[in-house]
């Protein structure tokens, strides 16, 4: 696999402002899925680490019982966010046409719960953004809601982008794909977290995992810390009150399987 060709794209929506000082440490979350308990636990860790900015890679809502509360938290903290497929389906019913029955039931419920302010917030999210030299997309470069699940998927994704560093979510699996100068692509799972040293000659697609519904057999919430000056990304896992969110899902009559998978992390 060769490095990105001249037809490869650059991520749009550049937010870098040369008149402002750049953050030194970014906290990056994804796939919150209306899980307020998990989000609060992650934010407590982020605050303890004194991150300079918080970014969200989409799927703020869907599956869980707290869509408005999670949107409110992000809006109050001026989080830089992009849209996931569940966010789009929450404000546009046709976007859920290809959802599985459980996801469809949860997003239909979510749509009835959203306040006008949070509906407007979700509707205004772009599908990609470029921040401080790296790209934010929900699922994959260019094809924003595609999944990257293995090395073959990652090779195709690297071929569609000229970016050296891209952060994604969508699969709910914390992992990194990296491509060496010869175009060889590798995969590393980060089930229990871990550190990724960002080497200039390599390119990276880093999945930060899921805050609200991990699917890598570790039920702990997942997020990333990116140290720009230190050229390193750390994936962290955080325990949270799973029983509490399960109880509120039951009260909202959300599907039982969605409640059960929070315990299994699958």
Mean pLDDT of the region 93-104: 97
In a domain, residue 98? The reply is yes
Q: Which of 9, 1, 38, 237 is nearest to 142 (CA)?
A: 9
Do residues 25 and 50 lie in contact, with contact meaning Cβ atoms separated by under 8 Å?
A: yes
By residue range, what is the domain housing residue 199? 25-264
142, pLDDT greater than 60: yes
Mean pLDDT of the region 15-35: 79
17, pLDDT greater than 60: no
In a domain, residue 15? The reply is no
In a domain, residue 1? The reply is no
In a domain, residue 220? The reply is yes
Question: Where do we find the tokens 């995969």?
Answer: 187
108, pLDDT greater than 90: yes
Instruction: Give 159-211 pLDDT, tens digit per residue.
Output: 999 999 999 999 999 999 999 999 999 999 999 999 999 999 999 999 999 99
Predicted local distance difference test score (pLDDT) of residue 11: 75
* Band of pLDDT at residue 263, cut at 50, 70 and 90: very high
The span from the CA of 52 to the CA of 20, in Å, is: 13
Predicted local distance difference test score (pLDDT) of residue 8: 58
Predicted local distance difference test score (pLDDT) of residue 22: 74
Predicted local distance difference test score (pLDDT) of residue 1: 32
Predicted local distance difference test score (pLDDT) of residue 4: 40
Looking at the structure of the chain, the number of domains it has is: 1
Provide the percentage of residues in the chain whose pLDDT is more than 90: 91
Write out the two tokens for 182.
């010869």
Predicted local distance difference test score (pLDDT) of residue 23: 82
Instruction: Give 202-230 pLDDT, tens digit per residue.
Output: 999 999 999 999 999 999 999 999 999 99
Do residues 249 and 51 lie in contact, with contact meaning Cβ atoms separated by under 8 Å?
A: no
Single pTM value for the model: 0.93
In a domain, residue 125? The reply is yes
21, pLDDT greater than 80: no
In a domain, residue 65? The reply is yes
CATH number at residue 90: 3.60.21.10
Total Cβ atoms within 10 A of residue 217? 11
What's the helix, strand, coil split of the chain in %, to 5? 30, 25, 45
């Amino acid at each position: 696999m060769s490095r990105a060709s001249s037809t490869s794209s650059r991520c749009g929506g550049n937010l870098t402002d040369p008149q402002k000082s750049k953050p030194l440490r970014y906290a990056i979350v994804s796939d919150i899925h209306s899980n307020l308990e998990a989000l609060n636990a992650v934010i407590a860790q982020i605050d303890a680490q004194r991150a300079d900015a918080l970014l969200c890679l989409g799927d703020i809502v869907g599956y869980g019982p707290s869509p408005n509360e999670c949107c409110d938290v992000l809006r109050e903290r001026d989080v830089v966010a992009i849209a996931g497929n569940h966010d789009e389906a929450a404000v546009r019913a046709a976007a859920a046409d290809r959802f599985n029955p459980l996801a469809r039931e949860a997003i239909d419920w979510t749509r009835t719960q959203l306040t006008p302010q949070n509906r407007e917030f979700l509707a205004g999210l772009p599908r990609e953004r470029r921040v401080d030299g790296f790209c934010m997309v929900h699922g994959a470069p260019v094809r924003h809601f595609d999944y990257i699940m293995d090395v073959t998927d990652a090779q195709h994704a690297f071929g569609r982008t000229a970016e050296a560093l891209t952060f994604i979510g969508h699969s709910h699996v914390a992992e990194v794909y990296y491509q060496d100068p010869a175009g060889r692509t590798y995969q590393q799972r980060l089930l229990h977290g871990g550190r990724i040293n960002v080497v200039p000659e390599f390119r990276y697609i880093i999945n930060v995992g899921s805050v609200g519904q991990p699917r890598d057999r570790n039920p702990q919430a997942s997020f990333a810390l990116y140290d720009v000056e230190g050229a390193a990304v750390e994936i962290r896992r955080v325990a949270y009150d799973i029983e509490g969110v399960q109880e509120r899902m039951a009260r909202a009559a959300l599907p039982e399987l969605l409640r059960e998978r929070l315990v299994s992390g699958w």
